[in-house]
Amino acid sequence: MIILYIAIFLFLGYSCLIIYYWISWRSIPEYSSAAEKPNTGLSVVIPARNEEKNIIGCLESVCSQHYPPELLQVVAIDDCSTDKTWDLLRHFHTGEKVINSTRLAEVEDGEFSAYKKRAIETGIAMSHNNVIVTTDADCKHPLTWLKTIALFYEEKKPAFIAAPVALQNDSSVLQIFQALDFLVLQGITGASVHKKIHSMCNGANLAYEKRIFNEVAGFTGIDNIASGDDMLLMHKISGKYPDRIHYLKSKQAIVASLPMQTWKDFFDQRI
């Protein structure tokens, strides 16, 4: 009987928490702007490790953005790939958009654990603009993605923007499950950021000021942790600018990412 009471208590507590997140999500205003043309220079940083299947599609979707080319810099970092990612990066050319790319040197095993953070730091150091946008090499982006982020930044003046990410799916049980699971996580992300709980965000769709990144010493202090290039950085910035952390709720800013292909990969990712 005691176990039953504990189960009921936990169920009610969990239900109240989910209802709170749902109400908080509904309270976030859908962002739209009357402005037509942004004036903010953006540097899009894309870390890539063994992404030969995805990197070209990602670059094409970023370079196809409805954004003034003179205000856009794309920085792609090859993070010690062992496939053809670097060859594809350094031979990629498209119209007016300039792609700045570099390849990181290998490090000894055990010398460095936060590989993605090192790639992002390198990309930020190469960036010409103050506003940094990060995404992942397996993502696709709507044409309005950068324009929406820039207009939101110009209007709200945030120090850190968490933006929405969705998972593509092919109607398989595994991918539908991941898409639904991810949808819940995104709802909790938006609700928690909006309510200033700042619990999490997703590195596939973030924006922050380079000046502030340097001001909080970037990933220093969290560079011994393999993950956390998104959430842990947000927590560092929110410690200094608690009222300038914003969630961008807009369908025009949703980035589409790829799901894991096997149950094992999915559980490994979650762990």
- The pLDDT assigned to 15 comes to 93
- The pLDDT assigned to 113 comes to 55
> Residues with Cβ < 8 Å from 120, sequence gap 6 or more?
45, 47, 77, 134, 219, 229
- The pLDDT assigned to 261 comes to 81
- The pLDDT assigned to 150 comes to 96
Tell me if 196 is assigned to some domain: yes
Host domain of residue 52: 40-270
Tell me if 9 is assigned to some domain: no
Structural domain total, the chain: 1
* 128 touches 40 (CB < 8 A): no
Tell me if 31 is assigned to some domain: no
- The pLDDT assigned to 102 comes to 84
Tell me if 30 is assigned to some domain: no
Instruction: Please list, residue by residue across 98-128, b when 16 or more beta carbons sit within 10 angstroms of its beta carbon and e when fewer do.
Output: ebebbbbeeeeeeeeebbbbbbbbbbbebbe
For residue 112, the domain's CATH number is 3.90.550.10
Please give the model's pTM, rounded to 2 decimal places: 0.88
pLDDT averages per 10-residue partition of the chain, 271 residues = 89 92 92 87 95 93 93 92 90 73 69 75 94 95 96 95 88 84 87 86 94 93 80 92 94 89 82 76
Tell me if 20 is assigned to some domain: no
Tell me if 35 is assigned to some domain: no
